[in-house]
């Protein structure tokens, strides 16, 4: 536990959930918080982070544009710069709670910063996250069952194909939430207004219809049971990029660890419109 003014006696995740996004990022930058980011920086857009060598950047940009549902692009850096100014006072090398480093598509390292890995030819892509619309659902009275701060929402590979670009291809990955049947209309209406956070669900109901064999065994994250009166609801996930990276096999690729998002200054409540990437 670290001192946060007015919240010294609270567990760290609970204390951070009560302060602004800049304070949360400072704690992460110090290496003092390395857990999931759900419930933090309420009202701000959280983002997936993908970092690639320059030689792969043009194809990956096209891949994002071809697949804007799972990969809604909200910002890119200048090649070699560890900053994306339009997202806030952020250092891409230190401001994610946990990073995954891939070598030729295989996870090689997981760390709290990537200072030792940073290269002058790196291109960085920030992709909006579905964590960003949860506050709006809560305001509409939608009750979401959340994992605790040490767990992540379940994510599954599907049989839904993406639009390929160069070496990047693969199928959609989806995030599942258990939603009460009476909330389905509200959930669809609210999340549709957040295109930069994956928007409306892509599937509701039978998981086998999109190639998911068993909800008890997610490909990432932790299982979530479907209770009485609930329905499994599936959103496109930024983890779709992980599948594509494993196929493209760049010599190095760096991402956030699943559930450990980049917290931006962008207003997650800005439900429509677009961000200028270039």
> What string of pLDDT tens digits covers the 278 residues of the chain?
454 554 454 578 888 877 889 999 999 999 999 888 888 888 889 999 999 999 999 999 999 999 999 999 999 999 999 999 999 999 999 999 999 999 999 999 999 999 999 999 999 999 998 877 877 888 888 887 765 555 678 999 999 999 999 999 999 999 999 999 999 999 999 999 888 889 999 999 999 999 999 999 999 888 998 999 999 999 999 999 999 999 999 999 999 998 899 999 998 755 434 444 43
Pair 106, 153 in one domain = no
Whether 215 is covered by a domain: the verdict is: yes
Whether 201 is covered by a domain: the verdict is: yes
Range of the domain at 92: 12-131+245-267
Beta bridge partner(s), residue 122: 53
In this predicted structure, what is the pLDDT of residue 148?
54
Q: Is 241 left (phi over 0), alpha (psi -120 to 50) or beta?
A: alpha
Pair 122, 250 in one domain = yes
Pair 16, 126 in one domain = yes
In this predicted structure, what is the pLDDT of residue 18?
78
State the Cα–Cα distance between residues 46 and 269, nearest whole angstrom. 12
Please check whether residue 52 is in contact with residue 61, taking contact to mean a CB–CB distance below 8 angstroms: no
Whether 5 is covered by a domain: the verdict is: no
Pair 256, 230 in one domain = no
In CATH, what number is assigned to the domain containing residue 154? 3.30.2040.10
pLDDT digits 0-9 by tens, 232-276: 999 999 999 999 999 999 999 999 998 899 999 998 755 434 444
Q: How many domains does the chain contain in total?
A: 2
State the Cα–Cα distance between residues 68 and 158, nearest whole angstrom. 17
Pair 122, 196 in one domain = no
Pair 170, 229 in one domain = yes
């Amino acid at each position: 536990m670290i001192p946060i003014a007015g919240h010294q006696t609270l567990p760290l995740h609970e204390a951070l959930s009560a302060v602004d996004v800049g304070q949360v990022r400072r704690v992460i930058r110090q290496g003092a918080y390395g857990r999931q980011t759900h419930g933090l920086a309420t009202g701000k857009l959280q983002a997936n982070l993908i970092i690639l060598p320059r030689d792969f950047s043009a194809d990956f940009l096209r891949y994002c544009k071809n697949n804007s549902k799972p990969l809604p692009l909200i910002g890119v850096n200048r090649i070699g710069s560890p900053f994306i100014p339009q997202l806030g006072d952020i250092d891409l090398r230190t401001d994610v709670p946990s990073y995954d480093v891939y070598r030729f598509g295989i996870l090689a390292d997981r760390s709290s910063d990537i200072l030792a890995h940073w290269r002058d030819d790196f291109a960085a892509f920030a992709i909006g996250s579905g964590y960003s619309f949860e506050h709006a659902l809560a305001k509409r009275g939608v009750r979401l069952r959340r994992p605790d701060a040490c767990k992540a929402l379940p994510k599954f590979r599907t049989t839904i194909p993406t639009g390929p670009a160069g070496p990047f291809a693969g199928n959609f990955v989806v995030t599942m939430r258990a939603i009460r049947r009476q909330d389905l209309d509200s959930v669809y209406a609210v999340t549709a207004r957040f295109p930069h956070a994956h928007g409306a669900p892509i599937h509701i109901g039978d998981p086998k219809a999109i190639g998911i064999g068993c909800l008890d065994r997610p490909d990432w994250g932790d299982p979530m049971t479907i209770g009485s009166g609930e329905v499994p609801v599936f959103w496109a996930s930024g983890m779709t990029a992980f599948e594509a990276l494993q196929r493209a096999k760049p010599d190095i690729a760096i991402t956030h660890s699943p559930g450990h998002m980049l917290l931006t200054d962008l207003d997650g409540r800005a439900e429509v419109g677009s961000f200028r990437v270039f």
